[in-house]
Amino acid sequence: MTSRVALVTGGTGGIGTAICKRLVDMGHRVATNYRDEARARAWQQAMATEGYPVTLVPGDVASTESAQAMVRAVEAQLGPVEILVNNAGITRDTTFHKMTAEQWHEVINTNLNSVFNVTRAVIEGMRERRWGRIVQISSINGLKGQYGQANYAAAKAGMHGFTISLARENARLGITVNTVSPGYVATDMVMAVPEEVRAKIIADIPTGRLGRPEEIAYAVGFLVAEEAAWITGSNLDINGGHHMGW
């Protein structure tokens, strides 16, 4: 198989870590960003101990300048980015009538404007080289909405419009663009939800449990494979049956 250069944003988080591992297992050279260097270096060390080397570069995906510098740093160390996984994301949950402009903009900047910031920095190179794989990590709540998540659901839904437009623009150039929409996965983001709310969520999931980060990473690995060349503009729902259909 061909070893590619992969950039996973938010790779130090729950789902991001599993995606990094999956891509290393596939033989790719993987990089991710950090904001807190000491924490990220400890993560990198733990990953290396498990046999997963990951290159770290500084980067705030919510900033256009920082995202561009992040991509340049990856390219200087590993070479051109061939696989991009736009995974970094945050929540700032509250009902809309109580939501501050800051909570709105923080989530839109981190979860949606980031996709512009990072993808814009890699797309021209992919077009020149006639090969690329881009995957957005959206959410079940970008498809069905969620109480207290107007900001998050708007950002995640925006990823789908972005995905299908970018897929059209680049389909003839060997670049695929897809979205993965996880349901509730057992990471810090979901464990921060109050336990009684989490119990209600789990009761609603047909498989009767939260997802595992590895189950999301598996789908990302599938979409970035050489053999997935004819899958573009798709959304893959991975949610234990929590949301089916449109």
Q: Which residues bind ligand NDP (CB under 6 A)?
A: 9-10, 12-16, 33, 35-36, 59-62, 87-90, 110, 137, 139, 182, 184-185, 187-190
Comparison of 146 and 174: residue with beta carbon closer to ligand NDP: 146
Residue 90 Cβ, how far from ligand NDP at the closest point, in Å?
Answer: 5
> Is 131 or 135 the residue whose CB approaches ligand NDP more closely?
135
Exposed, middle or buried: residue 206 (CB in 10 Å: 0-12, 13-18, 19+)?
A: exposed
Q: Using DSSP, state whether 213 is helix, strand or coil.
A: helix
Report CA 21 to chain centroid distance, whole Å: 14
Query: Can 152 be counted among the known catalytic residues?
Result: yes
Q: How far is the CB of 68 from ligand NDP (least distance, A)?
A: 13
* CB closer to ligand NDP out of 10 and 221: 10
Residue nearest to ligand NDP (CB): 13
Q: How far is the CB of 180 from ligand NDP (least distance, A)?
A: 9
Cα distance between residue 48 and residue 124, in whole Å: 32
Supply the minimum distance, in Å, between the C-beta of residue 28 and ligand NDP: 19
Which SS3 state, helix, strand or coil, does residue 103 take?
Answer: helix
Of 117 and 232, the one with the shorter C-beta distance to ligand NDP is 117
Q: How many CB atoms lie within 10 A of CB 188?
A: 8
Taking the least distance from each CB to ligand NDP, the nearer of 27 and 241 is 241
Q: Quote the least distance from Cβ 10 to ligand NDP, whole Å.
A: 3
**Burial (0-12, 13-18, 19+ Cβ within 10 Å), 100:** exposed
Q: Which of 34, 52, 147, 152 is catalytic?
A: 152
Question: Distance between CA atoms of 223 and 179, rounded to whole angstroms?
Answer: 9
- Which of 150, 148, 173 has its CA nearest to residue 232? 173
| Residue closest to 155 by CA, chosen among 105, 121, 99 | 105
Report how far residue 218's alpha carbon sits from residue 31's, in angstroms, rounded to the nearest whole number.
18
Q: Which residues are catalytic?
A: 152
